[in-house]
């Protein structure tokens, strides 16, 4: 209904309209993504380089404290520093051109972890780094697969072009053959890997000559050079690049925004993160091509539009990030509306109100208070002990986002402490790790309360759990690995049936009371299933 406006005052409905339009504008500026890669492909280096370009950090080297590099913003756990890996994730926000970039950090260890997967539920796109000398590695394949399953658009950056590696066309072939994604290069290198002179922008034909700054810690030196001059400067190398471009044009490897957004093609760029070569081009393409936040599916009802009332979901919970305060932080991705620090939101699971007094932007040790945030942003809610992974928060209009999908665990171990005086702390620690999703905790009636079973997607999760029980709860534990590789959900009848089988255990997952049947391998599971027609087994 229209209302008469007097004296320049605006009606409530106009204010709502104005604020939802403002939210839509802010959401449209957001680019929320994660850099993903096989370990050592250069993820930490790329994070630094991106931040350097946005001038968040004066010189590269301040994000991850690897080796003897300066400072550390992202790696906060002592374990990460000792081992030079990133086990946890957080978000880094910076402005670039007109956009607000939210870079979500993912764990950098070799086995695929549930944590990485959860971070990928909170992004709108991903940047996949390939090491030019290694091509596709096991983790790369798995990550591409996850992005495909979730329809996450992926930009591919072929890194380390400053040193010898595979042929550019061969790398494209590998992506197409082994992943089934159509590679559509947007930049093309002049000079083979190890002899990198710059890139040709395939859409404009402009050649940008690139040189690393001394030491590589500053922005690269870039200069646009016209084709004639470049041909003279680089001779055969230039001719090769032009021939390859002709070949690409003939095979139709051109960028297509629809297939990119549908996650069936991937724009490809070449560069060297360590020397900041090609990093500006990547940022520009993220702003131009990567999708902003969009309407999100809900459990019941229509998708939630970004300019609706405030809503978000928790994709990560992390305790003890700040040793001095021993706090617990819930990381929430905002899906719709405007977030304002101090606003009272509703916890969809319990219907209880929750005050967001302590809202922060957290990246490693760096913390800034957030006063307002928009769709695509990540807010760290401090001391949010009532919040768990996957929880939805909203104001005014109830909404519920689907539970975060979980991976079936493949590694199992009984955890015990021989220090009986530490049992209370042991139990608290296990509960905490379960709440954070560091590991899944299973209860076995046969094994008893003193010997819970930890289940993980990747064995690295066990290392993190053991380390944290010691460092944060003062409990030293032993792990006895169990000879199971497959878990399938079953029901009470299934448990009875499986009692008659040897070398199979049924346990309860504490998180959701699901009954899981553990099998030594897939073959055994199939043979058992074949013998019992009524047995329910869901993998």
Residues that bind ligand G4P (CB under 6 A): 37, 39-45, 66-67, 69, 108, 159-160, 162-163, 272-274
Nearest to ligand G4P of 159, 466 (CB atom): 159
Q: How far apart are CA 263 and CA 245, in angstroms?
A: 23
C-beta of 44: minimal distance to ligand G4P in Å?
3
Q: Which two tokens mark 484?
A: 């199971």
Burial of residue 407 (number of CB atoms within 10 Å: 0-12, 13-18, 19+):
middle
Residue numbers in the known binding site for GTP are 105-109
Nearest to ligand G4P of 272, 516 (CB atom): 272
Q: Please, what is the Cα angle at 474 between 472 and 475, to 5 degrees?
A: 115
Strand, helix or coil for residue 535? coil
Q: How far apart are CA 21 and CA 7, in angstroms?
A: 23
Contact at 8 Å (CB) between 400 and 348?
Answer: yes
Nearest to ligand G4P of 193, 453 (CB atom): 193
C-beta of 278: minimal distance to ligand G4P in Å?
9
Q: How far apart are CA 459 and CA 534, in angstroms?
A: 33
Nearest to ligand G4P of 276, 298 (CB atom): 276
C-beta of 64: minimal distance to ligand G4P in Å?
7
Q: Please, what is the Cα angle at 532 between 529 and 533, to 5 degrees?
A: 95
Nearest to ligand G4P of 360, 365 (CB atom): 365
Q: Please, what is the Cα angle at 458 between 412 and 137, to 5 degrees?
A: 150
C-beta of 161: minimal distance to ligand G4P in Å?
7
In sequence order, the 6+-apart residues with CB closer than 8 A to the CB of 210 are 196, 197, 198, 199, 220, 221, 222, 277, 278
Nearest to ligand G4P of 61, 429 (CB atom): 61
C-beta of 61: minimal distance to ligand G4P in Å?
9
How many Cα atoms within 13 Å fall on the side-chain side of residue 534?
8
C-beta of 83: minimal distance to ligand G4P in Å?
11
Q: How far apart are CA 321 and CA 319, in angstroms?
A: 6
Residue numbers in the known binding site are 105-109
């Amino acid at each position: 209904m229209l209302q008469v406006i007097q004296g320049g005052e605006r009606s409530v409905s106009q204010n709502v309209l104005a604020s939802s339009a403002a939210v839509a504008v802010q959401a449209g500026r957001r680019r929320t993504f994660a850099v993903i890669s096989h370990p050592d492909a250069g993820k930490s280096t790329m994070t630094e380089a991106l931040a350097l370009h946005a001038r968040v950090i004066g010189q590269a080297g301040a994000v991850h404290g690897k080796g003897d590099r300066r400072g550390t913003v992202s790696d906060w756990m002592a374990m990460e520093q000792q081992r030079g890996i990133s086990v946890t994730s957080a978000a880094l926000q910076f402005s670039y051109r007109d956009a607000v970039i939210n870079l979500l950090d993912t764990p950098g260890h070799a086995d695929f972890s549930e944590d990485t997967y959860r971070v990928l539920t909170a992004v709108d796109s991903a940047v996949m780094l390939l090491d030019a000398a290694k091509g596709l590695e096991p983790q790369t394949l798995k990550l591409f697969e996850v992005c495909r399953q979730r329809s996450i658009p992926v930009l591919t950056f072929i890194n380390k072009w400053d040193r010898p590696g595979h042929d550019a066309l061969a790398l494209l072939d590998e992506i197409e053959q082994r992943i089934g994604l159509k590679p559509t290069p947007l930049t093309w290198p002049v000079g083979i890997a190890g002899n990198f002179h710059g890139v040709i922008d395939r859409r404009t034909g402009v050649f940008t000559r690139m040189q690393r700054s001394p030491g590589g810690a500053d922005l690269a030196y870039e200069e646009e050079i016209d084709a004639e001059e470049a041909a003279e400067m680089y001779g055969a190398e230039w001719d090769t690049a032009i021939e390859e471009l002709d070949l690409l044009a003939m095979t139709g490897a051109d960028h297509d925004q629809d297939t990119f957004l549908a996650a069936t093609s991937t724009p490809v760029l070449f560069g060297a993160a360590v020397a900041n070569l090609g990093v500006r081009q990547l940022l520009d393409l993220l702003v131009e091509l990567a999708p902003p936040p969009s309407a999100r599916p809900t459990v019941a009802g229509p998708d939630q539009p970004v300019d609706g009332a405030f809503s978000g979901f928790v994709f990560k919970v992390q305790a003890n990030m700040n040793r001095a305060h021993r706090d617990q932080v819930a990381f929430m991705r905002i899906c719709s509306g405007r977030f304002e620090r101090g606003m009272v939101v509703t916890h969809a699971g319990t219907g209880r109100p929750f005050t967001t007094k302590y809202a922060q932007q957290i990246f490693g040790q760096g913390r800034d208070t957030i006063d307002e945030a928009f769709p695509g942003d990540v807010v760290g809610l401090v001391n949010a002990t009532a919040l768990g992974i996957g929880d939805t928060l909203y104001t005014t209009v109830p909404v519920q986002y689907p539970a975060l999908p979980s991976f079936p665990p493949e590694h199992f171990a009984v955890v015990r402490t021989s220090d009986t005086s530490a049992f209370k702390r042991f139990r608290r620690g296990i509960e905490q790790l379960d709440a954070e999703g560091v590991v899944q905790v299973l209860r076995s009636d046969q094994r008893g309360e003193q010997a819970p079973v930890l289940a993980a997607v990747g064995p690295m999760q066990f290392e993190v759990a053991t380390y944290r029980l010691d460092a944060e709860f003062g409990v030293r534990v032993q792990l006895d690995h169990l000879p199971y590789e497959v878990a399938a959900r079953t029901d009470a009848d299934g448990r009875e049936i499986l009692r008659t089988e040897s070398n199979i255990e049924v346990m309860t997952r504490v998180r959701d009371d699901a009954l899981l049947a553990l099998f030594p391998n897939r073959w055994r599971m199939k043979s058992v299933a074949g013998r019992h027609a009524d047995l329910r087994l869901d993998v």
